[in-house]
Homo-oligomer: A and B are copies of this chain.
Amino acid sequence: MKFGGTSVGDADRIERVARHVMAARDGGYKVCVTVSAMSGETNRLVELTERLGGGDVSREADYDAVVASGEQVTAGLLAINLRSKGVPARSFQGWQMGLATDGAHGRATITELPQDRLMATLDEGGVAVVAGFQGLAPDGRISTLGRGGSDTTAVALAAALGAFRCDIYTDVDGVYTTDPRIVATARRKPVLAYEEMLEMASVGAKVLQTRSVGLAMTYGVPVRVLSSLGEPEETDEGTLITGEEEIVEKQVVSAVVPSKGEAKISLLGVPDKPGRSASIFRLLSEAGVNIDMIVQSPARQGAEANMSFTLSEKDLSHAMETLTAVKGEIGFDELVANQNVSKVSIIGIGMKTHTGVAATMFETLAERAINIENISTSEIKISVLIAADYTELAVRALHEAFGLGGPKA
């Protein structure tokens, strides 16, 4: 079981987490719990390191020593509360359970996770409460796993312990067919394939990060996302994320995901010479800018081309500066930035075997007079770039077109 920052945000919530743990124990499970820092605590500690380090010091070992303390506190408090309720429990810091990392401070990767110490506690009938997000670097110092590291800890523990399941408690009650704030009939998915969750995370669904989903897929750990905000008896089943082969009824489209924070850059009148686009993208890559959804089209009798691509809005000004500096060298006529765009994606493992999905998507948007600026696809995803004003309309139309809605609320 893993409980995030809002789930352990204050003493009352930690007590409720203890009740969830006890309910699982009453259900006959041996329980290993991973906890995050109390909400706000990691930000407070990061700000102190920035204040005293004169900027970002997240690559330093002492940064990790400071921020890892947040999870240490929560784990201790939950163990204390469980014991006060008669449940034998103890906390483990990363170094105590022997979680080894590669030592890349602030963004470490797990290299080893022995199960003997935790299993000893579980075999004695105890609950092991693990401070997430942290491990021991090869030089004997604390290292943290970066944002979302507690989910990664939980999934890695589930794999190491051979757990029946990894339950990730958060402030939503599962993964939905789309954002319920946009579509009132959005439904919670009872089950999703790892690949679907990976694609959803990659286009900005916030529930889980790609890293922990990828780890779960690699080790075949079933992950369940559910809410910690109610009492155990009120809590729904959530969404189970598991292997494609476990899913009997594969839907063609499982979810419609809007993505904010996109921007588009267009280069007009680029001389159409071999290797020209490769040199542009190498330049942006060296500048640390990730790009997506590239479209190239001929212009002026084929001697020149227009090129456009999307990128994260926060990288926009940096990318524009980088390209402006090499305007003469690359030789384009004009550089146009557009922040008024958004990406809408449809995702589903059924696309592997069904045809006509793209046609349905494009027709649905065309019927609403929504112009598609760029398109990108993967085996189980189609994303389109559209004008930002049409985002909600597009999401609602696609959600209906693919029959994702439940009965109207």
Contact = CB atoms under 8 A, between A and B. Distances in A.
B90 A76 contact: no
Interface in A66-95: 66, 69, 72-73, 75-81, 83-84, 90-91, 93, 95
Interface of A is mostly: helix
B77 A49 contact: yes
Contacts of A60: 80, 83
B62 A83 contact: yes
A234 to B, nearest CB: 22
A229 interface: no
A304 B383 CA distance: 99
B72 A52 contact: no
A49 B91 CA distance: 13
Given A14-B52, A51-B11, A80 B57 contact: yes
B73 A53 contact: no
A80 B66 contact: yes
Interface residues of A, number: 37
Contacts of A83: 53, 57, 60, 62
Contacts of A91: 62, 65
A3 interface: no
Given A62-B91, A66-B72, A77 B48 contact: yes
A89 to B, nearest CB: 8
Nearest to A52: B81
A189 to B, nearest CB: 35
Given A52-B14, A53-B83, A84-B53, A66 B61 contact: no
A63 interface: yes
A52 B78 CA distance: 8
